[in-house]
Structure 1
Amino acid sequence: MASASPRPSHRRSLRTRRTLVVSAAAVAAAVGAGVLVMNANAYPVDLYHQVLPAKDGWAASGSGTTGGAKADAAHTFTVSTRAQLVKALGSATDTTPRIIKVKGTIDANTNDSGKKLTCADYASGTGYSLSAYLKAFDPATYGKKAPSGTQETARKAAQDKQKKNIVLRVPSNTTIVGVPGTRAGILGGSVLVQNVKNVIIRNLTFADTQDCFPQWDPTDGSAGEWNSNYDSVTLRGATNVWADHNTFTDAPTFDKTEATYYGRKYQVHDGALDITNGSDLVTVERNQFLNHDKTMLIGSSDTDSTGKLRVTIHHNLWKGIVQRAPLARIGQIHLYNNVYDTTTVNGYAPKYSLDSRAKAQVVAERNVWKIPADAKVAKLLSGDGTGSVAGTGNLVNGKATDVVAAYNAANSKKLKTTVNWTPALTAGLQTTVTSLLTDLTGTTGAGTLS
């Protein structure tokens, strides 16, 4: 690489189709089976007040990212239920510094009394049923136009009920961190960091964020698609955010178990960690992204926010990922010292790793790919002909490889090989990466801080 310059296959009733009865015990079982990697190494004396180190990526810009480090005792919380977490988060407009310690796995699909909620609970009283929805919008009779009418209105109402329960809004100056040794995480929840500043999210497993009520869009692609609505973590108009040592996964509900309707997969998962709507100054480091399709989106559209979407992604492990690791638009994105294991895992077969489009300015250096012997290097990247990918020192199966040259040789829409910026916030960048795959397997994700 050039250097960077300065279904219907079967049908089930709503209740039997998806009851969201996945429990913390199921997540623990997935951990034990090796689906989630969570080691119990030594932990810092005070994990909760740690701030982003100097020069550690874009989130170190300006006054840096300190989260809730200045929280007083009245704004330091330990939570183990959804209701406790909601109370600790408080109002999204309250900028008082706060530290939230998550102890154990919190199931977002529970009510304030801790009772498990299912998709049927959310649909109750709305008039929605999957069978009625499928009948109403069958392309053979309805055609290729956006769904509207009684069942679409009912679907939205049911979706809104779930949204009010599982979307957890984070205010400015907040640190959310998992308590070491407790398998801390959020099951089925969607953490929303919207139009706020200075947020830290660490040491948490985000598992199986599901939309009970995906929408059918017959105009999405040539055959239509089912689209879901919740990411495990969404940054939307957020500034100075540090996401560190987290695990993102669909486990224990993998896409391969989902039904097919209208010939398309009934997709209940959306993004893992999406960075959109003018979000800026973000550092994503030492996380594990496992068992997921559309993993990380940077920029919500080709006309998102020019001058923003500055993101650093380093020392992350991506395994069992289909695409978007990340898909980048518009911004200045620095990817270094990441490991991409493109082996098919739990039915998640890779399409590509990195997509640079809409004039994105990506510097990808000293990353490591592990690919099957019959895989093509040219398929590791993607683009629309306007995006750039610069950088050197990338390895594929242990061999120095110009992945951009390989992509460009096989595609008519070429990736540009120069960018309009030079990374300066590069703390921890390793120039020797031959052992990176081994190193990151045991030191990334929730439960591995040392």
Structure 2
Amino acid sequence: MRTHRFIVPLALLGVLSFPAHAEGRDISRDTLPANDGWASYGTGTTGGSAADDAHVFTVTDRAGLVRALDGGSDTPKIIKIAGAIDANTDENGDHLDCADYATDGYDLKEYLTAYDPRTWGSAKPSGPQEQARQASAAKQAERVELAVGSNTTIVGLGDKAVLKGAGLQIKDASNVIVRNLELRDAYDCFPVWQPNSGGLGDWKTAYDNLWLRGATHVWVDHVTLSDKGHPDEDEPTYFGRNYLRHDGLLDITNGSDLVTVSWSRFADHDKAMLIGNGDTATGDRGKLRVTLHHNQFESVVQRAPRVRFGQVHVYNNRYVVKDGHRYSIGVSTESALYVQNNAFTAPGHIEVADLVKSWNGSALHDEGTLFNGFPVDLRTIYNAYNSGSERDLTADVGWTPTLHTKIDSAGTADRAVARGAGAGRIP
């Protein structure tokens, strides 16, 4: 039998559709299994599995990805990412750095001089350099903020699919699946100085690797999220505060609901995951229902996760705590965290009481936790450690999870997650 060879011009590789057999097992039409966390509630989560052949794309660059996303349209679509895509590129695919976005005379040295707290004081930055910073930030946002619409599946091909520099946003959308993909380095070129943040002032950054805002029925599975490329620990200190370039790895805010995050890896980052973005956002009551299972949080400083309002089931996760750690489980306003059979490994100077922190929280259900191989009760130890200084956390969070896969012991889960969490590891 004669074998035919087809040569495809590279210019056409931005958006292409390939048959499933060309890439081995086709996971792009997988849907969330029944009872797999909050995203399986009600209608479940099917992503773009109903897409016709005309809306199945393989993309290899930013331009192709933007075309496939179709401005965040609700048309069922499957987007397969092949290789590494850099969001900080122009229409020709050439890389853009921070100098390319700077406009209207923005200059970091001049910005630091203008808003030095010793001379500027505690007022919010204003004037020419702040206006120039805002204009420069808008130029970058136009490049890196990518909207994902309803009925969409985004999946990486093989074990080397990467989207770097992007702020992927699922905003006011429903029925979305993101799988088998490395999301890396949502790097903000133009952080803003906030003099009164935390009483000391701080730098605020703009982008999360993945941000759910008003999103419902979302499944994030076998995704790796990190700052790889520009670690914050390598950034300088200005005004006595670290000049952070990254915000969250995965934030779930603004009334998002019915989310499952499974078999994913969160690594080498400060603020990993925020669920609920404000103590006064009372419209979040009854929403922010999230399941986190079989994820690895490695060298994460805080927010793994921090929760407001939501009913959040955290089970069978693996925590590898390193130096610089502040806390893992954040119990905040009206949160209802059900924490079950998780394993923590930490160096000797970190204590069990360091794993939990509360801001106006009142309850935490914890069971089956291992700390360096030994069973511990997070809530009881937290209460004992903070006796007399903070309100005790009760064990009654007002609900019991029913939507979950098999819950293993913490030790079994620890070993399974070490082997199987992250992009490129779908069985």
With structure 1 as the length reference, what TM-score do the two structures score?
0.87
Q: CA deviation at 1:398?
A: 1.3
Q: CA deviation at 1:399?
A: 1.3
Q: Does 1:45 align with 2:12?
A: no
Q: Does 1:374 align with 2:354?
A: no
Paired with 1:340 and 1:416, the residues of 2 have a C-alpha distance of 23
Aligned to 2:118: 140
- Amino acid paired to 1:66: T
Aligned to 1:437: 414
Q: Does 1:177 align with 2:155?
A: yes
Residue number among 246, 265, 281 corresponding to 2:223 in the alignment: 246
Could you say which structure has the greater relative contact order, defined with CA pairs below 8 angstroms and 6 or more residues apart?
A: 1
Q: Does 1:100 align with 2:79?
A: yes
Q: CA deviation at 1:436?
A: 2.7
Aligned to 1:205: 182
- Amino acid paired to 2:296: L
Residue number among 223, 233, 249 corresponding to 2:210 in the alignment: 233
Structural mapping, 1:283-362, within 5 Å: 283-304=260-281, 305-344=284-323, 349-362=324-337
Q: Does 1:383 align with 2:361?
A: no
- Residue 387 to residue 88, structure 1, CA distance change in 2 (3 Å): farther
Aligned to 2:7: none
Aligned to 2:165: 188
Residue number among 39, 46, 68 corresponding to 1:66 in the alignment: 46
Structural mapping, 1:82-121, within 5 Å: 82-92=62-72, 94-121=73-100
Structure 1 counterpart SS, 2:411: coil
Alignment deviations for residues 75-96 of structure 1 (CA, whole Å, 9 cap, x no partner): 000001000000000022x211
Cα contact 1:240–1:280 (8 A) shared by 2: yes
Cα contact 2:187–2:230 (8 A) shared by 1: no
Structure 2 counterpart SS, 1:434: helix
Paired with 1:151 and 1:299, the residues of 2 have a C-alpha distance of 32
Structure 2 counterpart SS, 1:201: strand
Cα contact 2:57–2:80 (8 A) shared by 1: yes
Q: CA deviation at 1:330?
A: 0.5
Aligned to 1:39: none
Alignment deviations for residues 377-436 of structure 1 (CA, whole Å, 9 cap, x no partner): 101001024342103111111111101111111113222321111111011321x23233
Alignment deviations for residues 25-44 of structure 1 (CA, whole Å, 9 cap, x no partner): xxxxxxxxxxxxxxxxxx98
- Amino acid paired to 1:90: D
Paired with 2:279 and 2:395, the residues of 1 have a C-alpha distance of 20
Structure 2 counterpart SS, 1:391: strand
Cα contact 1:357–1:384 (8 A) shared by 2: yes
Aligned to 1:30: none
- Amino acid paired to 2:231: F
Paired with 2:76 and 2:50, the residues of 1 have a C-alpha distance of 6
Cα contact 2:331–2:364 (8 A) shared by 1: yes
Alignment deviations for residues 118-142 of structure 1 (CA, whole Å, 9 cap, x no partner): 101100x322110111111011110
Q: Does 1:128 align with 2:95?
A: no
Structure 1 counterpart SS, 2:418: helix
Structure 1 counterpart SS, 2:65: helix
- The ranges of structure 1 where at least 4 consecutive aligned residues each deviate by more than 6 angstroms after the TM superposition are none
Alignment deviations for residues 229-287 of structure 1 (CA, whole Å, 9 cap, x no partner): 00000000000000000001111321121011111111101000000000000000100
Paired with 1:416 and 1:167, the residues of 2 have a C-alpha distance of 40
Moved more, 392-401 or 211-220: 392-401
Unaligned runs of 5+ in 1: 1-42
Structure 1 counterpart SS, 2:197: coil
- Amino acid paired to 1:359: E
Paired with 2:384 and 2:197, the residues of 1 have a C-alpha distance of 29
With structure 2 as the length reference, what TM-score do the two structures score?
0.92
- Amino acid paired to 2:300: I
Paired with 2:233 and 2:207, the residues of 1 have a C-alpha distance of 19
Aligned to 2:254: 277
Alignment deviations for residues 53-75 of structure 1 (CA, whole Å, 9 cap, x no partner): 00000000111000000001110
Cα contact 1:385–1:416 (8 A) shared by 2: no
Cα contact 1:108–1:186 (8 A) shared by 2: yes
Alignment deviations for residues 145-198 of structure 1 (CA, whole Å, 9 cap, x no partner): 1111111111010000000000110010000000014x1011111100000000
Cα contact 2:316–2:414 (8 A) shared by 1: no
- Residue 44 to residue 387, structure 1, CA distance change in 2 (3 Å): farther
Cα contact 1:356–1:415 (8 A) shared by 2: no
Structure 2 counterpart SS, 1:442: helix
Q: CA deviation at 1:303?
A: 2.6
Q: Does 1:152 align with 2:130?
A: yes
Cα contact 1:44–1:449 (8 A) shared by 2: no
Q: CA deviation at 1:207?
A: 1.1
Paired residue total: 400
- Amino acid paired to 1:77: F
Cα contact 1:56–1:428 (8 A) shared by 2: no
